[in-house]
C-alpha cells in the first residue's frame, strides 16, 4: 500500500511511530516502519509528527503540512508552570477579532483530538450583539429553571443571576463581541 513513505536514510528505527500509532497498523520491519494496509489509518498524523528525524510521510497527513515538534515537547517544570498559569479570559476588547484571525483560530482548533480522529466538528461564529445578548438571556432563564428544580449549582447560579438581573452586569457573556460554539 502507499500509505507511508519512509526515508530509510533518515530513519533511525527508534520505533516511536509504531508505538504511537493509535490504530496499531504500523510494525517495525527490517528497514524501518511499515504498514501492509491503510484501511485502519485514522489520518491522525502521529507517526509523521513525532518522528525525530522527519523520515516519515503519510499520504493522509503529509510531512510538508506538519509543523516539527521540538523534542522533548515540554519538560515537566515547563508543563507544570504552563498549566498553573492558565486562566479564563473574562474581559474582552469591544471590537471582535478579524475574520482572518478567527479563521486561523478555527484552523488550529480542527487539529484538536477527536474520537477516531474523525474531526467531524463544525463551529458557529456569532458576532451579532443582539444574538449574544439573547444567548446570555437564555442562559439566565436556564439558570432560573435549574434553581427552581433544586440544582446542586443553585448557590452559584443565584450569585450569577443577582449580578446579571439586579446590577445589570453581563456576567454571563461578559460583553464578548463574539462567541464561537
Q: Could you give all domains of the chain from N- to C-terminal order, each with its CATH number?
A: 4-65 (3.30.70.20), 88-181 (3.40.109.10)
Taking only the tens place, the pLDDT of each residue in 105-133 is: 998 887 777 766 666 778 999 999 999 99
Mean predicted confidence (pLDDT) in 49-58: 89
Taking residues 98-108, what's their average pLDDT? 92
Distance CA 86, CA 72 (A): 21
Mean pLDDT for 169-174 is: 94
pLDDT at 1 over 60: no
Cell numbers standing for residue 132: 449574544
CA distance 12 to 56: 11
Share of the chain above pLDDT 70, in %: 92
Helix axes 154-161, 129-148, angle to 10 degrees: 140
Compute how many other C-beta atoms are within 10 angstroms of the C-beta atom of residue 10. 13
CA–CA dist 151, 169 (Å, integer):
23
What is the three-class DSSP state of 33?
A: strand
CA distance 31 to 113: 31
Q: Does residue 162 carry a pLDDT above 90?
A: yes
DSSP bridge partners of 28: 33
Q: What is the CA radius of gyration of the chain?
A: 23
* pLDDT interval class at 44 (50, 70, 90): confident
The pLDDT of residue 102 is: 95
Amino acid at each position: 500500500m502507499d500509505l507511508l513513505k519512509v526515508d530509510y536514510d533518515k530513519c533511525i528505527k527508534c520505533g516511536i511511530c509504531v508505538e504511537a500509532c493509535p490504530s496499531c497498523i504500523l510494525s517495525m520491519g527490517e528497514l524501518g516502519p511499515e504498514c501492509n494496509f491503510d484501511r485502519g489509518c485514522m489520518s491522525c498524523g502521529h507517526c509523521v509528527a513525532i518522528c525525530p528525524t522527519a523520515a516519515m510521510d503519510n499520504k493522509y497527513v503529509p510531512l510538508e503540512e506538519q509543523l516539527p515538534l521540538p523534542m522533548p515537547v515540554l519538560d515537566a517544570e515547563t508543563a507544570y508552570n504552563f498549566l498553573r498559569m492558565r486562566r479564563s479570559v473574562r474581559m474582552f476588547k469591544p471590537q471582535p477579532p478579524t475574520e482572518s484571525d478567527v479563521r486561523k483560530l478555527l484552523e488550529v482548533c480542527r487539529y484538536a483530538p477527536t474520537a477516531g480522529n474523525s474531526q467531524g466538528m463544525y463551529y458557529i461564529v456569532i458576532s451579532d450583539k443582539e444574538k449574544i445578548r439573547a444567548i446570555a438571556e437564555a442562559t439566565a432563564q436556564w439558570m432560573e429553571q435549574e434553581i427552581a428544580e433544586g440544582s446542586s449549582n443553585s448557590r452559584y447560579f443565584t450569585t450569577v443571576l443577582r449580578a446579571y438581573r439586579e446590577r445589570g452586569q453581563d456576567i454571563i457573556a461578559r460583553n464578548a463581541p463574539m462567541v464561537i460554539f
